[in-house]
């Protein structure tokens, strides 16, 4: 391992001079020695020891990404939204010259450990942390960025999207296309702010148009028998013709259930997803969905993080990014009066 000292000896200077050069404090060092030292460091293959740096300066160039890990069966990163977001975030953070650490966390203890152990410069929370936020907030002074949080704690920095409006847009679009008998499919977790707001926006818009969703049309995507449920509600006298799902992944499961139940999309059943994850455009038929700009979100999170790291006094802020409806081919127009048919 090459250390500052090694370089210093070779260059005939003190290790402080080398340190300064390595940190780009070029104005403090004469151009000549600076050049010389850089060359030697290069030759010797010097790589700064981040642990030593962190220890000495009590500030690391390390960011922790915390993913809430609820389910033993699956991994948070199997959810395309999470992996896309985390993937973009990693790249952004690396571009800023920081390193990234991943932690799956279950309880407060593991969150605390993740934050303290490597004295990270900041942390990004992906997933549900609402229960612990107050405590986390209290116990830490480093910048903490939450995503998609609907915590009642006011003073947190959060980056989310307009879930409510997303729900509204889905409702509106389905209504415009003549659908009146609708259903909602998503995880049962009512406590989850994101899902709840999507559902609320959806229902509110319907209500404004004199339509309501019966409780049995709010379906738990975790249940085993989606096929049968679908078959039941989409057949008979007053069939459900449109479904709003909380995620594109969930939509793909609806596709599969519909296929098994011999329901054709969009002929028998229209579906709207959420997220606009990579795969959505490749589903059969391509999925109409409420898009959130994941790359942009990651970018905003990263910038916010850097701002807070550079200046600890920046006040907490809650950023809400917009969503947009991406029209593809999973919703059929069933207007009575002549309307625009979906093109193929």
By CB under 7 A, name the binding residues for DNA.
1, 3-5, 12-17, 19-20, 22-23, 27-30, 32-34, 46, 48-49, 52-53, 55-59
CB of 329 to a second copy, least distance (A): 9
The b-or-e profile of 263-290 (16+ CB within 10 A means b, else e) is bebbebbbbbbbbbbeebeebebebbbb
Residue 241 makes CB contacts below 8 A (sequence gap 6+) with 179, 180, 181, 182, 234, 268, 269, 270, 332, 334
Contact residues for a second copy (CB under 8 A)? 1, 45, 47-52, 54-55, 60, 69, 74-78, 80, 83-84, 86-88, 90-91, 94, 99-104, 112-113, 116-119, 139, 249, 252-253, 255-256, 259, 265, 278-279, 281-286
String of DSSP letters for 312-327: TTPPP-EEEE-EEEE-
Closer residue to a second copy, CB minimum distance, 178 or 286:
286
Out of a second copy, DNA, none, what residue 94 binds, judged by CB under 5 to 8 A for its kind, is a second copy
CB of 209 to a second copy, least distance (A): 31
| Residue 78 near which of DNA, a second copy, none (CB within 5-8 Å, type-dependent) | a second copy
Q: Toward DNA, which CB reaches closer, 59 or 320?
A: 59
Q: Which is nearer to a second copy, 58 or 152 (CB)?
A: 58
Q: Which of the choices DNA, a second copy, none does residue 303 contact, using the CB cut-off of 5 to 8 A by kind?
A: none
* CA–CA dist 148, 194 (Å, integer): 7
Q: Whose Cβ is closer to DNA: residue 7's or residue 161's? A: 7
Coil vs helix vs strand at 27: helix
Distance CA 177, CA 335 (A): 6
Could you tell which of a second copy, DNA, none binds residue 163, using a CB distance below 5 to 8 A set by kind? none
Question: Cα torsion at 215, 220, 225, 229 (round to 10°)?
Answer: 30
By beta-carbon proximity to DNA, the closer residue of 32 and 337 is: 32
* Residue (28 or 43) nearer to a second copy, CB: 43
CB of 97: closest distance to DNA in angstroms?
Answer: 13
**Cis peptide upstream of residue 143 (ω within 30 degrees of 0):** no
Q: How far is the CB of 114 from DNA (least distance, A)?
A: 15
Q: Which does 118 bind (CB under 5 to 8 A by kind): a second copy, DNA, none?
A: a second copy
Residue 256 Cβ vs a second copy, minimum distance, rounded to whole Å = 4
- The interface partner of residue 24, options being DNA, a second copy, none and the CB cut-off 5 to 8 Å by kind, is none
- Residue 294: closest CA among 281, 277, 270, 306: 277
In the chain, count of helices (H) and strands (E)? 12, 12
Tokens of 144: 């903490």
C-beta separation of 18 from 3 below 8 A:
no
* Cβ 63 to DNA shortest distance, Å: 18
Q: At a CB cut-off of 8 Å and minimum separation 6, what does 321 contact? A: 159, 160, 161, 162, 292, 293, 296, 297, 300
């Amino acid at each position: 391992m090459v250390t500052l000292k090694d370089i210093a000896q070779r260059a005939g200077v003190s290790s402080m001079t080398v340190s300064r050069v390595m940190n780009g404090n070029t104005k403090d060092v004469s151009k000549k020695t600076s050049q010389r030292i850089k060359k030697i460091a290069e030759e010797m293959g010097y790589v700064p020891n981040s642990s030593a740096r962190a220890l000495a300066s009590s500030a690391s160039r390390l960011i922790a990404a915390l993913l809430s890990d609820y389910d033993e069966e699956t991994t948070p990163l199997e959810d395309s939204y999470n992996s896309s977001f985390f993937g973009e975030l990693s790249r952004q953070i690396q571009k800023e010259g920081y390193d990234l650490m991943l932690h799956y966390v279950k309880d407060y203890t593991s969150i605390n450990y993740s934050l303290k152990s490597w004295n990270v410069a900041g942390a990004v929370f992906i997933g549900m942390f609402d229960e612990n936020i107050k405590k986390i907030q209290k116990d830490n002074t480093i910048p903490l960025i939450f995503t998609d949080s609907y915590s009642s704690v006011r003073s947190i920095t959060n980056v989310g999207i307009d879930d409510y409006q997303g729900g509204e847009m889905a409702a509106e679009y389905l209504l415009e296309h003549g659908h009146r008998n609708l259903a909602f499919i998503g995880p049962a977790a009512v406590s989850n702010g994101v899902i709840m707001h999507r559902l609320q926006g959806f229902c509110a818009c319907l209500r404004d148009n004199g339509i309501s969703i019966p409780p049995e049309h709010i379906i738990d995507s975790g249940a085993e028998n989606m096929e049968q449920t679908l078959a039941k509600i989409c057949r008979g006298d007053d069939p459900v013709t449109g479904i709003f799902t909380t995620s594109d992944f969930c939509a793909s499961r609806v596709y599969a259930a519909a296929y098994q139940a011999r329901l054709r999309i969009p002929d028998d059943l229209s579906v709207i997803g959420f997220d606009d994850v990579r795969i959505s455009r490749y589903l059969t038929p391509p999925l109409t969905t409420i898009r959130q700009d994941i790359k942009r979100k990651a970018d905003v999170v990263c910038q916010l993080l850097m701002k807070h790291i550079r200046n600890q006094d920046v006040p907490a802020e809650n950023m809400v990014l917009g969503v947009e409806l991406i029209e593809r081919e999973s919703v059929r127009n069933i207007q009575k009066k002549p309307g625009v048919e979906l093109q193929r």
